[in-house]
Amino acid sequence: MTKILVTRSSMPSYEEYCEEIKDLWESHWLTNMGVKHKKLQEELEAYLGISHVALYTNGHLALENAIASLNLPTGGEVITTPFTFASTTHAIVRNGLVPVFCDIKEDDYTIDTVKLEQLITDKTVAIVPVHVYGNMCDVEEIDRIAKKYGLKVIYDAAHAFGVKYKGVSAACFGDASMFSFHATKVFNTIEGGCVCFKDDKFVTLLNDMKNFGIHGPESVQYVGGNAKMNEFQAAMGICNLRHLNDEIAKRKRVVEKYRSRLEGVEGIKLSSIQKDVESNYAYFPVVFDGYKYTRNEVFEKLAAVGIGARKYFYPLTNSFECYRNYPTAGTKKTPIAQHMALRVLTLPLYADLSLEDVDRICDVILGE
Ligand code: T4K
């Protein structure tokens, strides 16, 4: 029985990667913003249609630094969603800010903008929405709210690399957007991530912050850490970017196959197809609500035959032990998110997942 895991990293051929890293053996330049770093940064700026990309060693530190760059007042409230990976909430809290958890929408699991506006107080300083599973948040409404109340917006776009709204890349909304280039993502640099932004005034800050705040040989302007992307990571990104369109097209076939088997089955709910959005087919979430098997039963049935679905995102971040004593924590105020977290399963999805395997997975889900 071959195991099927929830995802499998996209990789270039061994030869292609070796060719890309060959010159590193000649230069001995392995990290600290070398030629590969520069090349990837420029290629990403062109691909995403954004003026500035600051590369990071992972998406989490990219998000932490993006939030830090806005210099928000300690103790300020940041409205965000608990239906996400631990990273989103941690990045807010590790910046000395207070997460205020907003509920999500039932159809696409992104932040509910009506509830968001109701949560704004005189302590609110920013919004950190999440394009969860690659589904775009309501960027137009969030922009309207942010302008009305003078709030900063930093998108956690970890899942949304390659996604476009009305032809515009997910990189281009809010004050900044963070992409994750982790091994499990549609586009990977092994580990990695970036901050995308338009305002020139953040160029120095975001690039220096990942290198101890060092600006020049005798100038340290910020209290930064070490979050640099190294040359091997960047080389992987350069290779993977060449194949990205193919990878997304292959993922699309897998998703279409899943939809053809699961759409319309009583008690099974699929994520809605968003209007004006070009998807990257990052994840395939399925909600079991009133189905003949519970989510946990489906999870166990799949696991019993070597199929590794995942409960992304359960538990909600507002129920984590580390936030138990937070005044804003608890799942009561986010009932839709809690409902989804108890019922959702993300099914295996990667470019090379065969359609026969998708059938096998669906047979287990639909079987007696
Ligand atoms: N914001 C959001 C909304 C995020 O989802 C994430 C990360 C972040 C921020 C932070 O970005 P990064 O700092 O990670 O760049 C995984 C990933 O580690 C994490 O990147 C991701 N979100 C999260 C949703 O999933 P785990 O603990 O579930 O991963 P793991 O090790 O169980 O791997 C899942 C499957 O992927 C494996 O069953 C097989 C496959 N896999 C895994 C690895 C590590 C590969 O094929 N190759 C690999 O190298 O967290």
Q: 98-101 and 77-80: which strand pairing?
A: parallel
Helices marked H in the chain: 14-27, 35-48, 59-68, 86-93, 113-118, 139-149, 203-209, 231-242, 244-262, 295-304, 335-341, 355-366
Alpha carbons 296 and 278: distance in angstroms, whole number = 31
Q: Identify the pLDDT of residue 314.
A: 98
Distance from Cα 299 to the centre of ligand 1, integer Å:
18
Fold of 14-239: Aspartate Aminotransferase; domain 2 (3.40.640)
Distance from Cα 7 to the centre of ligand 1, integer Å:
9
Alpha carbons 337 and 265: distance in angstroms, whole number = 22
Share of the chain above pLDDT 90, in %: 98
| Ligand 1 pocket test target in 109, 132, 182 with most atoms within 8 Å of CB | 182
| Mean pLDDT, residues 151-161 | 98
Instruction: Judge whether residue 30 has pLDDT over 70.
Output: yes
DSSP state of 182: -
Measured in whole angstroms, the distance separating CA 69 from the mean position of its chain's CA atoms is 19
Which atom of ligand 1 lies at the shortest distance from residue 310's CA?
28
Instruction: Judge whether residue 368 has pLDDT over 90.
Output: no
Alpha carbons 113 and 88: distance in angstroms, whole number = 18
- pTM confidence score: 0.98
Share of the chain above pLDDT 70, in %: 99
DSSP state of 179: E
Same topology between domain 14-239 and domain 244-366: no
Which atom of ligand 1 lies at the shortest distance from residue 5's CA?
38
Domain boundaries 244-366, corresponding CATH code: 3.90.1150.10
Q: Identify the pLDDT of residue 326.
A: 87
Q: Identify the pLDDT of residue 5.
A: 95
Provide the 3-class DSSP secondary structure of residue 17: helix
Q: Which of 23-27, 77-81, 321-325 has the lowest mean pLDDT?
A: 321-325
pLDDT digits (tens, 9 = 90+) for 342-353: 999 999 999 999
Name, in order, each residue with C-beta under 8 angstroms of 101's C-beta and a sequence gap of 6 or more. Answer: 80, 81, 82, 316, 317, 318, 328, 329, 333, 334, 337
Domain ranges of the chain: 14-239, 244-366
Q: Closest Cα to atom 38, ligand 1: which residue?
A: 5
Residues with CB under 6 A from ligand 1: 5-9, 58-60, 84-85, 87-88, 130, 156, 158-159, 180, 182-184, 193, 308, 312
Alpha carbons 327 and 149: distance in angstroms, whole number = 23
226, HSE (Cβ side, Cα atoms, 13 Å): 3
| Ligand 1 pocket test target in 4, 85, 104 with most atoms within 8 Å of CB | 85
Q: Which residues pair with 214 in a beta bridge?
A: 220
pLDDT digits (tens, 9 = 90+) for 241-280: 999 999 999 999 999 999 999 999 999 999 999 999 999 9
Structural contact between residues 49 and 171, judged by C-beta atoms closer than 8 angstroms? yes
Burial group, residue 289, by CB count within 10 angstroms (0-12, 13-18, 19+): middle
Alpha carbons 333 and 254: distance in angstroms, whole number = 36
Beta sheet of 344-347, edge-to-edge order: 268-270, 284-288, 344-347
Q: Give the residue among 175, 194, 200, 206 at the shortest CA–CA distance from 47.
A: 194
Measured in whole angstroms, the distance separating CA 12 from the mean position of its chain's CA atoms is 22
Distance from Cα 181 to the centre of ligand 1, integer Å:
10
Alpha carbons 67 and 91: distance in angstroms, whole number = 8
Give the max Cα distance, the chain.
70
Q: Which residues pair with 179 in a beta bridge?
A: 194
Instruction: Judge whether residue 207 has pLDDT over 90.
Output: yes
- Please give the mean pLDDT across all residues of the chain: 97
Q: Identify the pLDDT of residue 327.
A: 86
| Mean pLDDT, residues 54-81 | 98
Which atom of ligand 1 lies at the shortest distance from residue 87's CA?
9
Distance from Cα 185 to the centre of ligand 1, integer Å:
7
